[in-house]
Amino acid sequence: MPDTPPAALSRDGRVSPESPPDTGPESPPAPPAGTASAPAARSTPRSPDARATRRQRLFTPALVVGILITLGLLLLSLTTGQYDVFADDGFWMFGITRVPRTIALVLAGASMAMCGLIMQLLTQNRFVEPTTTGTTEWAGLGLILVLWLFPGASMLARMGGAVTMAFIGTVIFFLFLQRVTLRSSLIVPIIGIMLGAVVSSFTTYIALMTDHLQTLGIWFAGSFTRVVEGRYELMFLVLVVTILVFITADQFTVAGLGKDMATNVGLNYTAVLFLGTAMVAVATGVTATVVGTLPFLGLVVPNIISLFRGDDLRSNLPWVALLGIAIVTACDLIGRTIRAPFEIPVGLVLGLVGAVVFIGLLLRQRRKGGLLT
């Protein structure tokens, strides 16, 4: 019976009969093997981590370009108008009209775009946002009820009524969804649009009976014309909503996986759903009170960002905010210049752009065969 040969190969390839077998940490071949494999073990996880870090960096060169483009649009907003801000009293007019309007554009665009993203995560549907779930119509109902019951109500009281009814309406929408067994891509927004139509009809009836129909039409036109010093300060409340979205991004990401999955990983799904509903209600109610309706903004922006960057919520949030600001500002500039010195409401321009994008998304989903899934 042959014995195991005691010879072993040394590091230079020659036979070394005196070398003992590799049986422990003190055997000679062990250090070379260890030194050869250690760098490989360290370098293997490092490279994917480095690539993932580069992919998920928030401040990329493309983001810097986006920031510069958005700043350019905001600068145009500050300098566009019929009043000469370089006149003797131009600085005064610049401070009470142009600056508040531009600040409102930033806050409204970022907050409403993020609200659309939140609602799409909570409903797991890309066609959902405040104007396709009836939330905006409920906010209008709150405004009309406050004016009807308290004719001399302040802006803060109107905002409170709009936020309260927007929250109630969003809760009702989610309760309707729990009763629906068919959860296709089209059924969810159709439910919201139908619910919003019913609420809008009731709101119009109350406005007609209380002689507030013209006021209702101005609100739902969505215009920044009335945003001046003394009327835009409430918009800073939506800045709180925007900050909260950045803080709770991970929770909303997990909630977007569904109730069962979120509960299995230890997330309080009901609390996150309540928080998201409250944030959407606050942003929608405040924006409806100060500016009016911004249709399809929360639908267009998240879907465009997802097409180019995927569904990573935390890294997409700066892009969603930037694109929301840019689209609202661009639509406002179009409305201010296309028929100067008259202004077309930004809601009209935004509704036209949003409707085209919405139809495009439907056609794209249909080609992929996902409308009935």
- Give the per-residue pLDDT at 53: 54
Low-confidence ranges of the chain (pLDDT < 50): 1-47, 50-51, 54, 372-373
CB-CB contact of 148 with 212 (8 Å): yes
Alpha-carbon span 232 to 161, nearest angstrom: 17
> Could you identify the residue written with the tokens 């360290």?
42
Identify the CATH assignment for 62-368 out of 1.10.510.10, 3.40.50.200, 1.10.3470.10, 3.40.50.11890. Answer: 1.10.3470.10
Alpha-carbon span 162 to 143, nearest angstrom: 5
- Give the per-residue pLDDT at 352: 87
- Give the per-residue pLDDT at 161: 92
- Give the per-residue pLDDT at 227: 84
- Give the per-residue pLDDT at 9: 42
- Give the per-residue pLDDT at 326: 93
CB-CB contact of 327 with 353 (8 Å): yes
Alpha-carbon span 157 to 164, nearest angstrom: 11
Alpha-carbon span 260 to 257, nearest angstrom: 8
- Give the per-residue pLDDT at 324: 93
- Give the per-residue pLDDT at 330: 92
- Give the per-residue pLDDT at 183: 61
